[in-house]
Amino acid sequence: MLSHGLPTMSLVLMGLASLGLACAVFFGVWARWARARDRAMSRAAMLEALLAEQQRGAERRESLLRTVVEATPVAMVLLAHSGNIAFSNRSARDLFFEGVAVEGQNVLSMIERAPVALGRALLSNGDELFSVGAAGGPETFHLSRRHLEDGQTLIAVRNVTDEINRHEVVGLKTVIRIISHEINNSLGPISSLVGSARIILQRPEHLPKLSTVLETIQERAVHLQGFLDGYARLAKIPERGAACAPASGCPTVPVARPVSSARVGSGSH
């Protein structure tokens, strides 16, 4: 009886040992899977947090860019491929649309509301410089056009009146300085020669030299006249009447007269 029980007990022990080994293997595999799952979940959480932070950063940058675009004094209008207005900043709304949002409208509405000069600039294919009338006088604008991806077009209009005025003042000062220098170079010798002519008239023995003095005076006057005529042609100033009759022997020098200011032409609907 005892001999028959021993094999049975051995089988039971072997079964228990196999079961224990199987349980150990199972729990080991499960533990490794659990650790791998935890690591994967941790990495996923980190990626999710990173993506969320990147999304928030992109939103902050977009908000900052929109704030800058809205605050810039340059009027900006973004046109879709269809010609509809996709975006306009505050300066563009104030300049073209009386402060009203026009997203979704066609650019033709923008042209219809614009002054004639601006309308022509909008219909052009490149950059344009145009002037329109304003309460304080003509204002000059620069329109630039840039073609973007997906057929979009960015139109930017910038007021360059002050910039042009500054350049005109600098140019005018330069012109005045050049003219003053040239006039002084001619009038200085003429004044000196006139003094010499008076001395010659007081000394009859030197009268033969008077002809040379007068010829030199005439040469300097003709040189000055040529310079002024050249400047008049460059500046497109109309020819003036002579200072004295040609029969008197004096050179014909333009007479300076006030030039009436002309308003830059502009039109509006």
DSSP-assigned states of every residue in 19-43: HHHHHHHHHHHHHHHHHHHHHHHHH
Query: To the nearest whole percent, how much of the chain has pLDDT over 70?
Result: 80
Do residues 99 and 91 make contact, with C-beta atoms less than 8 angstroms apart?
Answer: no
Where is average pLDDT lowest: 75-79, 82-86, 204-208? 204-208
Amino acid 238: pLDDT: 54
Amino acid 251: pLDDT: 39
pLDDT over 70 at 24, yes or no: yes
pLDDT over 70 at 5, yes or no: no
pLDDT over 50 at 233, yes or no: yes
pLDDT over 70 at 100, yes or no: yes
Where is average pLDDT lowest: 46-60, 125-139, 220-234, 246-260? 246-260
Q: Does the model's pTM come out above 0.85?
A: no
- Give per-residue burial for 95-112: e unless 16+ CB within 10 Å, then b: bbbeeeebeeeebeebbe
Q: Which two tokens stand for residue 52?
A: 């969320």
Where is average pLDDT lowest: 48-57, 108-117, 180-189, 219-228? 108-117
Where is average pLDDT lowest: 115-124, 155-164, 183-192, 234-243? 234-243
CB-based contacts of 85: which residues, under 8 Å, 6+ apart? Answer: 77, 78, 79, 102, 103, 104, 105, 106, 107, 110
Q: What is the pLDDT of residues 160-173, one digit of tens each?
A: 888 888 888 888 88
Mapping DSSP to helix (H, G, I), strand (E, B) and coil, where does residue 103 land? coil
pLDDT over 80 at 46, yes or no: yes
For β-strands 128-132 and 85-88, DSSP reports them as unpaired
